[in-house]
Amino acid sequence: MNASNHNAQPTPAPEPKTLWGLLIEFDSPEALKRAAERVRDAGFTRWDAYTPFPMHGLDRAMGVRPTILPWITLGGALIGAFGGLLMQWWMNAVDYPYLISGKPFFSLPILNGLPMLYHAVFTSRRFRRATTDGFYIAIEARDPTFDLERTREFAASLGGVAVEPLEE
């Protein structure tokens, strides 16, 4: 079993004209792993181990660094996702707009306008009670019927506790 402990004899084969390397055979995965550690420690860099199935722990025994494959995959996934989105936007919203059931020509699957970390209502100290026990109505200045003087009067007549103008 301990094939790594006694010195392997070179097979009697004709000496090659140009030498590529030396091949060493082991009869168990454990022996291979022990030997791989020693080859690594001996400082070789152009060498590899060959096994009939993936051997766990051999990467460390050989000192193989992780592959960049996951990043390549991520790049492919992002190109695919944005490429697909770009295609739909160009074909159905720009070059030949389709009106389907009154939906926007182009829309993204994002919920409720979230995430949105800044909003005008957050400028009010009063509004912090919105998540505790406060009840509010906000009328936006961009509303077509909005008029500062008249809407301020109207707001005061609604029977609220306070009326506060908010900055954009």
Quote the tokens at residue 134: 């406060």
Nearest distance from residue 106's CB to other proteins, in Å?
10
Look-up: residue for tokens 């720009």? 94
Q: Which of 20, 96, 118, 135 binds other proteins (CB under 8 A)?
A: 96
Assess contact for 126 and 134: CB atoms under 8 A: yes
Which lies closer to other proteins via its Cβ, residue 9 or residue 67?
67
Q: Which of 78, 87, 138, 139 binds other proteins (CB under 8 A)?
A: 87
Alpha-carbon distance of 44 to 62, in angstroms, equals: 10
Does residue 67 touch other proteins according to CB under 8 A? yes
Alpha-carbon distance of 106 to 85, in angstroms, equals: 10
- As a whole number of Å, the CA-based R_g of the chain is 36
Look-up: residue for tokens 């009106």? 99
Number of residues that bind other proteins (CB under 8 A): 29
Assess contact for 109 and 102: CB atoms under 8 A: no
Nearest distance from residue 105's CB to other proteins, in Å?
10
Look-up: residue for tokens 């030997």? 35
Does residue 64 touch other proteins according to CB under 8 A? yes
Does residue 70 touch other proteins according to CB under 8 A? yes
The stretch near other proteins (CB under 8 A) out of 16-24, 67-75, 111-119, 156-164 is: 67-75
Give the interface with other proteins as residue ranges (CB under 8 A).
Answer: 28-29, 48-55, 58-59, 62, 64, 66-67, 69-70, 73, 77, 87-88, 91-92, 95-96, 98, 100, 103
